[in-house]
Amino acid sequence: MMKINAIKINIKTVDGEFGTYFEFSKGLNIIRGNNSTGKSTLFQSIIYALGFEELLRGKNAETMQSVLKDKVLTMDGQEHKVIQSSVTIEIENSSNQAITIRRYVKNEAKEAKLIEVSETKSLTRKEPALFMPKWIHDKGGASNEDYGFHYYLAKMASGICL
């Protein structure tokens, strides 16, 4: 069993920073809101951070909402060009082992296949994070024992000590 503790979405634009932070409660969490309030972006961001965006019929950032790739549109109608964005989630297994996962949606210096992992609760407890590189979408890369993200995630989900 896996539990999502929190998610943080960071968006840097030419005009400043935008984003959101949300902590999940134990049990069922219901996300509701009017149209264009970020429900789909939140859901897609979780899938993307876990490297499962192929479920959304695409690969890498092409599956993500425009707000994370192109422009942020504010309530006053202003458009702000996105120069960098990332999704960070903290998950925990049934053995109370937690990891923080960060994946960039837009970043010229980071490959889309890169997922960074820290064995800390850096979102909910603000523990210092030392991120390790893990990889997805390379032939055999996701299942590689040393650097494959999905291999690592499967071990973590099963409660095997990391």
**pLDDT-derived band of residue 126, with 50, 70 and 90 as boundaries?**
very high
Name the nearest CA neighbour of 22 among 35, 34, 4.
Answer: 4
Give 75's DSSP letter: T
| CA pair distance 52, 59, nearest whole angstrom | 9
pLDDT the model gives residue 49: 95
Res. 76: pLDDT tops 90: no
**pLDDT-derived band of residue 73, with 50, 70 and 90 as boundaries?**
confident
Cβ atoms within 10 Å, residue 6: 18
Res. 143: pLDDT tops 80: no
pLDDT the model gives residue 161: 59
| CA pair distance 13, 46, nearest whole angstrom | 22
Name the nearest CA neighbour of 135 among 122, 120, 121, 153.
Answer: 153
Cβ atoms within 10 Å, residue 112: 18
Label residues 136-158 b or e (16+ Cβ within 10 Å = b): bbeeebbeeeebbbbbbbeebee
Res. 142: pLDDT tops 80: no
pLDDT the model gives residue 120: 95
Label residues 120-134 b or e (16+ Cβ within 10 Å = b): bbbbeeeeebebeeb
Whether residue 16 contacts residue 5, with contact meaning beta carbons closer than 8 Å, is answered with no
pLDDT the model gives residue 119: 95
| CA pair distance 100, 120, nearest whole angstrom | 6
pLDDT the model gives residue 62: 81
Residue range 33-53: mean pLDDT, rounded: 90
Q: Report the predicted TM-score, pTM, of the whole model to 2 decimal places.
A: 0.90
Res. 140: pLDDT tops 70: no
